[in-house]
């Protein structure tokens, strides 16, 4: 049982049934799931949620699918850590990190795919498809496997072998597409229209994107049922950024927390920064870019929700970071060395942007800040390999060790 | 015949120019404005173009040469 009532166009507010639809036929605006908030308000309580499972399904009442038939590989309810060491470095005593690296396939995409897969199966689809260079492919492959569905995953032909293994282990139909990024994009948009598959981020996108709300729910619950003052979120399509705030808004709407005054700030890599660039130019029209960054998981040059991300930046008095590849690597190292969390490049973008926004005065030291770390470091080893402190190499003797370690002490490194 | 939907974004100096009207005259393409938001500084229009695919492409290249930014209206499908 779900409290979802209909899909509604974000632009012209026309209603659509809760089917596999994603764009308004009239104005091409994106469709979004609506709920019966009055019924939801009567039904939910903090106690009911707290008694739920330690996964995103504890927020089942806020999701657009039947949780009794959930495809559950354990996504969500990840740790929220008070990052005292990193907070000291940045001058933010109330800095928290939402550690979404610990999801079943090591990224926050498990949240969106869990919801999309559950809804897709409910709608009668047997095939779950996506086009992805990494995280999404991993998650779709894993969830389809657990659901007994066929996964059809399109990847660029030049994708590194290491990234493919994280999907192929689950046994999907993997399709390598020759051609440049634009060609792959065009083909996948066409395929999504031509086949009766659940393309997770195309025809079931309204359900898919709702999964990201659970990050907002969890953070509020983990803070003792309150919204943070400021969130820093990596932006690719912009969906995650918008939905975290939607989650906070919904909790307030049903009376579980006070009205959030949370400022929402974004994080992008300079090599793919359509939102950050438009924001810096004070424009509400972003220009699509050709991505060129080590943060491959954020490399969306033409973001589907870019406009809404800009609206949210404006409406919540946020700001948007834009960081270089070097800053991304430094961000990854800083996070690992201060808090013991190894994040992928997207995490480096978030931490480097956090630093940039503090230095720019956009984040205040007295704010309770949550930075979202959305993917694990083993996904992007190449980004940091060769840029870390090398190992000492010794013969198998005490003397050899003491010489090497002593030399280190001498240089003041140890 | 094909139908293509695109988003035109106009820079300030083109706001007052009848670009879409001229596009419909210079190319064998039927234009249909589906949505628009234009003020005195910038503006965008979601435009449906109907015609021979090559002719549509030629008309879009012409619009770009006039200074219009032409984008696909759906976002990228290939995600991280
Ligand atoms: C690790 C990671 N973080 C953040 C994002 C951003 O998500 P969205 O496309 O919702 O903006 C992605 C998306 O691909 C991702 O893989
Ligand atoms: Zn509409």
8 Å CB contact of A304 and B72: no
For ligand 1, atom 15: residue with the closest CA = A297
Task: Give the pLDDT means over successive 10-residue stretches in chain A (414 positions).
Answer: 93 94 86 98 98 98 96 98 98 98 98 98 97 94 98 90 91 91 79 90 96 98 98 98 98 98 98 97 83 94 92 98 98 98 98 98 98 96 92 96 88 58
pLDDT in tens, B38-77: 877 778 898 999 999 889 989 988 998 999 888 767 788 8
Q: How far is A60 from chain B (nearest CA, A)?
A: 26
| φ, ψ (nearest 5 deg) of residue A411 | -80, 0
Atom of ligand 1 nearest to the CA of A344: 1
pLDDT of A162 reads: 78
Q: For chain A, what's the residue count?
A: 414
pLDDT of A412 reads: 59
Q: pTM for the full model?
A: 0.90
Are the beta carbons of A232 and A316 closer than 8 angstroms?
A: no
Across the interface, of B44, B69, B77, the residue whose CB is closest to A185 is B77
User: Which residues of chain B have a CB within 8 Å of the CB of A27?
Assistant: 34-35, 46
Are the beta carbons of A28 and A79 closer than 8 angstroms?
A: no
Across the interface, of B35, B46, B80, the residue whose CB is closest to A134 is B80
Q: Is the ipTM of this complex over 0.85?
A: no
CB distance A373 to ligand 1 below 6 Å = no
pLDDT of A12 reads: 83
Instruction: Give the percent of chain B with pLDDT over 70.
Output: 99
Q: Which 8-state DSSP code applies to residue B15?
A: T
Q: How far is B27 from chain A (nearest CA, A)?
A: 24
Are the beta carbons of A19 and A122 closer than 8 angstroms?
A: no
pLDDT of A413 reads: 56
Are the beta carbons of A284 and A326 closer than 8 angstroms?
A: no
Q: Does A275 touch chain B (CB under 8 A)?
A: no
User: Could you tell me the fold of the domain covering A80-106+211-387?
Assistant: Rossmann fold (3.40.50)
Are the beta carbons of A160 and A179 closer than 8 angstroms?
A: no
pLDDT of A180 reads: 75
CATH C-level class of A4-73+107-208: alpha beta
A4-73+107-208 and A80-106+211-387, same CATH topology: yes
Domain residue spans of chain A = 4-73+107-208, 80-106+211-387
Average pLDDT, chain B: 88
């Amino acid at each position: 049982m779900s409290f979802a009532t209909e899909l509604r166009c974000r632009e012209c507010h026309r209603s659509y049934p809760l089917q596999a639809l994603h764009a308004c036929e009239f104005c091409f605006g994106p469709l979004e799931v609506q709920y019966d908030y009055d019924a939801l308000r009567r039904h939910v309580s903090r106690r009911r949620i707290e008694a739920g499972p330690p996964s995103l399904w504890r927020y089942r009442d806020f999701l657009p699918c039947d949780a009794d038939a959930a495809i559950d590989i354990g996504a969500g309810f990840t740790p929220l850590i008070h990052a005292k060491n990193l907070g000291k470095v940045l001058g933010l005593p109330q800095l928290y990190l939402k550690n979404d690296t610990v999801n079943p396939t090591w990224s926050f995409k498990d949240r969106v795919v869990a919801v999309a897969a559950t809804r897709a199966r409910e709608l009668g689809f047997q095939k779950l498809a996506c086009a992805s260079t990494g995280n999404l492919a991993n998650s779709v492959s894993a969830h389809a496997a657990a659901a007994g569905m066929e996964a059809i995953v399109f990847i660029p032909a030049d994708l590194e072998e290491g990234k493919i293994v994280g999907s192929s282990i689950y046994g999907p139909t993997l399709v390598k597409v020759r051609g440049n990024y634009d060609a792959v994009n065009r083909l996948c948009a066409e395929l999504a229209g031509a086949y009766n598959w659940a393309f997770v981020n195309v025809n079931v996108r309204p359900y898919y994107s709702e999964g990201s709300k659970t990050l907002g729910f969890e953070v509020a619950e983990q803070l003792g049922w309150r919204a943070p003052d400021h969130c820093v979120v990596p932006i690719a399509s912009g969906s995650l950024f918008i939905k975290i705030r939607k989650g906070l808004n919904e909790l307030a709407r049903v009376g579980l927390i006070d009205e959030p005054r949370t400022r929402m700030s974004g994080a992008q890599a300079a090599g793919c920064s359509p939102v950050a660039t438009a924001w810096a130019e004070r424009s509400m029209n972003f220009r699509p870019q050709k991505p060129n960054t080590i943060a491959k998981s954020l490399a969306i040059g033409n973001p589907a929700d870019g406009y809404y991300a800009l609206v949210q930046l404006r409406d919540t008095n946020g700001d948007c970071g834009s960081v270089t590849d070097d800053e991304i690597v430094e961000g990854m190292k800083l996070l690992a060395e201060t808090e013991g969390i190894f994040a992928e490049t997207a995490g480096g973008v978030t931490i480097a942007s956090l630093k940039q926004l503090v230095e720019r005065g956009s984040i205040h030291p007295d704010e309770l800040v949550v930075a979202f770390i959305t993917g694990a470091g083993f996904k992007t080893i190449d980004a940091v390999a060769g840029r870390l402190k090398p190992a000492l190499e010794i013969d198998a003797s005490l003397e050899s060790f003491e010489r090497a370690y002593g030399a280190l002490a001498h240089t003041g490194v140890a | 015949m094909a139908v293509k939907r695109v988003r035109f974004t106009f820079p300030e100096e083109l706001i007052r120019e009848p670009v879409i009207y001229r596009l419909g005259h210079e190319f064998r393409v039927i234009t249909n404005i589906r949505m628009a938001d234009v003020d005195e500084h910038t503006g965008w229009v979601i435009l449906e173009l109907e015609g021979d695919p090559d002719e549509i492409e030629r008309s879009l290249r012409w619009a770009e040469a006039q200074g219009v930014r032409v984008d696909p209206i759906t976002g990228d499908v290939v995600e991280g």
